[in-house]
């Protein structure tokens, strides 16, 4: 449902640079794989259906596209129809593919990989030398794993081919790749703004957990049996046009070794952060393409028994596909329970809302609601988001929850501005807060709500959350910035962070500060009402800081800086005049420049191919005309310069 929410945001607000809905504000377009969502919106508008129904239909389209692209790709490479059919069938027998269907954008990466693999083969054979690098760059916006995998394939192809590695051509190809993918990698590499990366998503445990739920490492028995067949096919084939299979074998072997190392040993963060074990499907498709060489060798040979046995293998493969679908494919439902939309007694708009189901709550709740954490595990805009979700959702505790844990929760609720907390009926938080003897933080129970078969309790904090405040002058000097790269997997860092949150909250909630009214006219705009004759010219705002925030009060610019966990401290021109503080978020320059470069390079490549195609067509027509004209002269039998031309059919 997180993907459905991203589509909803894109459909509702378009190319907006910021949203308030998640984690006290995030830039949702930062390194964003937006192509799947744009395609889904297109399908939704075409058929006039809901987002979720469009996602279901698009998933079906992707399943068909995967099989079709494998079959058509191999047929275009001159493989026999039966070989292409077996390969297409095997592509549906990769266990992780069916699990990946639940990760909507990842299923796009899986489905488009056979097409990119076919184009890579053309690239390796000397064709589309500049178009392919461009498409590789664009594939990062389909899914990062697709982009990383095809980019590595491209580099390996250049190294092993006859092309000089250090050449102008290679520089141009790599330049095109970097330009086309710049909107994805630039904000990550250059660090244009705060972006916290959760270490959990790059450790050995996570890489192993990705495939822990599958048999055969996310492949299947048939795919694993294809490995020795692939090696045999490489040994038997003598066709120079199939040299690409040798390169794929080297690449696949390297990928498998990396796979083994990643689930057993710590790797450099730059490698493990790609979450490459989620790409078992890519390895499966590579094995299928290499094994197709063996299948085709058999079908083009005179060994009848081998042909029969290979054809009969379709039966157990089909059975295993059925098993994979029933075991790993996600089930569909006509309803999803969520406590956020079930509570209708009053609008939950005077503060943020804690909910453990960020996906369903994000999609179904009104876009005026705000949740204190996000789904952007590697690009969080402040350190509060990953920590609050860590101990609230994944932290182990006893029943009843200890007072120390409740106080820690209150500290994080205060600093992020949470007013309401929604817990399901069976939650330890519900059981603890429902009991007056254990509810040591005095949260008010607003009642029970039902959403389909699920029950939820809505709790309200005993304090009014401070979203913005005029800070007393003597408190301003006590403000501090949290360490920017603490590891929430490190106990010492976590203890320090919890203490920082407690101390910072005490400063903000000091009774001498003046809370201010905050409104959000749009997702990239904030308005704060500022009174006259203030105690200081420092305004605290619990919105995530980003260099692209710009503000004015009474048409005068203000200074915006980071404070605490990467929230904002705003310095006004004076302490006397009242006014309306208006903050507006804009895209950084690299977005405009990158978009322009991507467009120019893409148009240039397309025009170049069109011109070349037109010239070849004109040359071909000229040759055809010359041949036909000569035949016509010969058939009439005419004399020129002493030579006689006769119709050869006479």
pTM of the model: 0.88
Token look-up 């979700």 returns 389
Of 216, 217, 250, which is closest to residue 231 (Cα–Cα)? 250
**Ranges of each domain in the chain:** 31-186+198-328, 339-464, 469-587, 590-644
With beta carbons less than 8 A apart as the criterion, state whether 384 and 23 touch: yes
121 or 165, greater pLDDT: 121
Span 90-144, pLDDT tens digits? 999 998 888 877 788 899 999 999 999 999 999 999 999 999 999 999 999 999 9
Name residues whose C-beta falls within 8 Å of residue 590's C-beta, 6 or more positions apart in sequence.
Answer: 182, 186, 187, 190, 192
* Segment 23-36, tens digit of pLDDT: 999 888 888 889 99
Q: Residue 337: is its pLDDT beyond 70?
A: no
Mean pLDDT value of segment 480-501: 89
DSSP β-ladder status, 643-644 and 639-640: antiparallel
- Containing H/E element for 107? helix 104-124
Give residue 145's Cα distance to chain centre.
Answer: 9
Which two three-digit tokens encode residue 570? 């705003």
- Digit-coded pLDDT (tens) for 232-281: 888 877 777 888 999 999 999 999 999 899 888 888 888 888 888 888 89
pLDDT per residue as tens digits for the range 388-427? 888 888 777 778 889 999 999 999 999 999 999 999 888 8
Contact 368, 349 (CB under 8 A): yes
């Amino acid at each position: 449902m997180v993907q459905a929410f991203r589509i909803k945001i894109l459909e509702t607000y378009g190319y907006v640079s910021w949203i308030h809905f998640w984690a006290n504000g995030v830039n949702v377009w930062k390194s964003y794989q937006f192509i799947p969502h744009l395609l889904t919106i297109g399908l939704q508008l075409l058929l006039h259906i809901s987002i979720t129904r469009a996602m279901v239909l698009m998933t079906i389209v992707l399943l068909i596209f995967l099989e079709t692209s494998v079959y058509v790709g191999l047929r275009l490479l001159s493989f026999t129809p039966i070989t292409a059919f077996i390969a297409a069938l095997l592509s549906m027998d990769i266990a992780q593919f069916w699990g990946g269907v639940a990760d909507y954008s990842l299923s796009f990466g899986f489905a488009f990989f056979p097409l990119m693999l076919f184009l890579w083969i053309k690239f390796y054979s000397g064709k589309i030398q500049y178009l392919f690098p461009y498409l590789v760059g664009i594939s990062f916006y389909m899914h990062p794993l697709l982009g990383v995998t095809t980019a590595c394939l491209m580099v390996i192809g250049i190294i092993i081919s006859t092309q000089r590695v250090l050449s102008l051509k290679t520089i141009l190809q790599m330049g095109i790749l970097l330009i086309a993918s710049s909107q994805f990698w630039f904000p990550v590499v250059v660090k244009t703004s705060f972006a916290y990366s959760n270490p959990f998503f790059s450790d050995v445990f996570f890489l192993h957990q990705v495939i822990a739920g599958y048999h055969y490492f996310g492949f299947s028995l048939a795919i694993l049996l294809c490995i020795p067949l692939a090696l045999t096919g490489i040994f038997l084939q003598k066709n120079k046009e199939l040299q690409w299979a040798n390169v794929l074998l080297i690449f696949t072997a390297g990928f498998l070794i990396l796979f083994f190392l990643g689930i057993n040993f710590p790797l450099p963060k730059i490698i493990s952060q790609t979450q490459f074990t989620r790409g078992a499907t890519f390895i499966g498709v590579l094995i299928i393409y290499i094994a197709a060489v063996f299948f085709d060798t058999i079908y083009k040979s005179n060994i009848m028994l081998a042909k029969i046995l290979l054809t009969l293998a379709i039966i157990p493969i089909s059975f295993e596909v059925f098993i994979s679908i029933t075991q790993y494919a996600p089930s569909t439902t006509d309803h999803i329970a969520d406590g956020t939309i079930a509570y209708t007694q009053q609008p939950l708009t005077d503060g943020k809302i804690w909910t453990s189901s960020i996906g369903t709550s994000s999609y179904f709740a009104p876009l005026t609601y705000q949740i204190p954490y996000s789904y952007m595990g590697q690009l969080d805009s402040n350190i509060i988001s990953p920590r609050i979700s860590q101990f609230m959702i994944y932290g182990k505790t006893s029943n009843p929850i200890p007072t120390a844990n409740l106080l820690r929760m209150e500290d994080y609720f205060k600093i992020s501005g949470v007013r309401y907390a929604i817990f399901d009926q069976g939650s330890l938080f519900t059981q603890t807060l429902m009991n007056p003897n254990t509810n040591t933080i005095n949260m008010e129970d607003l009642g029970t709500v039902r959403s389909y078969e699920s029950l939820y309790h809505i709790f309200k904090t005993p304090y009014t959350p401070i979203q913005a405040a005029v800070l007393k002058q003597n408190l301003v000097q006590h403000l501090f910035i949290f360490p920017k790269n603490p590891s929430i997997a490190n106990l010492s860092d976590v203890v320090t962070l919890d203490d920082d949150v407690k101390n910072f909250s005490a400063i903000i909630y000091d009774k001498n500060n003046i809370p201010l009214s905050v409104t959000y006219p749009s997702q990239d705009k904030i308005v704060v009402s500022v009174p006259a004759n203030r105690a200081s010219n420092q305004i605290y705002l619990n919105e995530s800081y980003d260099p692209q925030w710009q503000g004015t009060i009474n048409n005068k610019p203000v200074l915006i800086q980071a404070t605490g966990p990467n929230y904002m401290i705003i310095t006004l021109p004076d302490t006397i005049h009242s006014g309306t503080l208006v903050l507006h978020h804009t895209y950084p320059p690299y977005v405009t420049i990158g978009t322009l470069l991507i467009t120019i390079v893409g148009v240039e490549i397309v025009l170049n191919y069109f011109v070349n195609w037109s010239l070849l067509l004109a040359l071909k027509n000229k040759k055809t005309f010359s041949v036909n004209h000569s035949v016509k002269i010969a058939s009439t039998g005419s004399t020129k310069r002493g030579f006689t031309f006769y119709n050869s059919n006479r």
